[in-house]
Amino acid sequence: MPSALDRTDRALLAALQDNARLTVSELADQVALTTSPCWRRVKLLEDNGYITGYQAILSPKSLGFGVTAFVSIMMDSHTKEMALAFEKRLMEIPEIVACHNISGRYDFLLEILARDLESFGEFTREVLQRLPGVKEIYSSFSYKAVKERRVIPVSEKHI
């Protein structure tokens, strides 16, 4: 990857984070480029791994998910094989919308969506407790999302 992004690259990244549905023409206007150089720069940002994909941001509440849980998992074994088996299984479970391998007392932090507390309890018993290597599960629930949208800082001050 290039060692540094210039002002135009950062402007492209910020604009696309704000609205990935911009046409190349609209994007070019926002960053003061013509369409061909704009398209080439975006393609280069994709090719160099700065842009890894595009997706719509969905509303869990509108789709019937009333509970967001943050679940800390402690593993009973810390072998590479156990971690890989655990991680592989997580990738197959759509209710787990995010997972981080973390430091501290617990090994993994999961973000999980459920319709309600009863369905979360059933999910915990039927799915989480049966994951490979799980020793302990600790759950916390979100009262409300204060800052929900994940926006990566791209200003010169940050990168």
Could you tell me the residue ranges of all domains in the chain? 7-48, 60-142
Look at residue 71 in the predicted model and tell me its pLDDT.
Answer: 98
Q: What is the pLDDT along the chain (159 residues), one digit of tens a residue?
A: 445 899 999 999 999 999 999 999 999 999 999 999 999 999 999 999 999 999 999 999 999 999 999 999 999 999 999 999 999 999 999 999 999 999 999 999 999 999 999 999 999 999 999 999 999 999 999 999 999 888 999 988 887
Look at residue 35 in the predicted model and tell me its pLDDT.
Answer: 97
- Considering the chain, what is the average pLDDT of its residues? 95
Cβ–Cβ under 8 Å, residues 151 and 15: no
Element holding 117 (H helix, E strand): helix 117-126
pTM, full prediction:
0.87
Look at residue 157 in the predicted model and tell me its pLDDT.
Answer: 83
Cβ–Cβ under 8 Å, residues 116 and 107: no
Second-level CATH architecture of 7-48 = Orthogonal Bundle (1.10)
7-48 and 60-142 have identical folds = no
Please tell me what DSSP assigns to residue 130. G
Looking at CATH, the fold of the domain delimited by 60-142 is given as Alpha-Beta Plaits (3.30.70)
